[in-house]
């Protein structure tokens, strides 16, 4: 059974199979978590993202979808990029946010990841409330866990790695 936990920390230092990047649709780096992951991963990550843009994702990645690349210099093996909904652009459907988590877990299973670290997708510059992100994220992970109870491709650990005490408190409240 999948263990779900929340910690305060730096996602770029997580020793898990896959970390999830709160990417923008261009997949070419940005600010916040996306910028930190690209900076820590080194040039290999950007090269893989450029290859995706030149081949399978010419128009970028859609909100709620996910795709994997290698992790470059990170301690993880893969980076799973997902694009969260931007509340400032009117993207307020919780189903789009939930899809970021469920699609990322599906991609993690596809690449064989057994441990995954998530940031609080859309809780930063995309304007979603921390409590709502925590509720949606944890519900999505629990739903995915219930949908895959005994498969060999089960993910053992899902860790929410949060950069602030406020985000950590929101996730801990939902996990309690």
CATH number at residue 87: 3.40.220.10
Residue 19: which domain range? 3-175
Distance in angstroms (rounded) separating the CA atoms of residues 26 and 60: 5
Domain count, the chain: 1
Catalytic residues: 34
pLDDT of residue 129: 96
Give 42-95 pLDDT, tens digit per residue.
Answer: 999 999 999 999 999 999 999 999 999 999 999 999 999 999 999 999 999 999
Stated pTM of the model? 0.95
């Amino acid at each position: 059974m999948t263990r779900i936990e929340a910690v305060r920390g730096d996602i770029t230092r997580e020793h898990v199979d896959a970390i999830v990047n709160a990417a923008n649709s261009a997949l070419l780096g940005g600010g916040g978590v996306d910028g930190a992951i690209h900076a820590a991963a080194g040039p290999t990550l950007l090269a893989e993202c450029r290859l995706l843009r030149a081949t399978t994702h010419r128009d970028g990645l859609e909100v709620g979808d996910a795709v994997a690349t290698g992790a470059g210099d990170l301690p993880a093996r893969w980076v799973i990029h997902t694009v969260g909904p931007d509340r400032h652009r009117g993207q307020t459907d919780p189903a789009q946010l939930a899809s970021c988590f469920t699609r990322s877990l599906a991609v993690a299973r596809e690449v064989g990841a057994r441990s995954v670290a998530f940031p609080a997708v859309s809780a930063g510059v995309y304007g979603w409330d921390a409590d709502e992100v925590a509720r949606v994220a944890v519900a999505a992970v629990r739903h995915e866990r219930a949908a895959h109870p005994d498969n060999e491709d089960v993910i053992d650990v899902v860790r929410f790695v949060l950069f602030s005490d406020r985000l950590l408190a929101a996730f801990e409240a939902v996990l309690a």
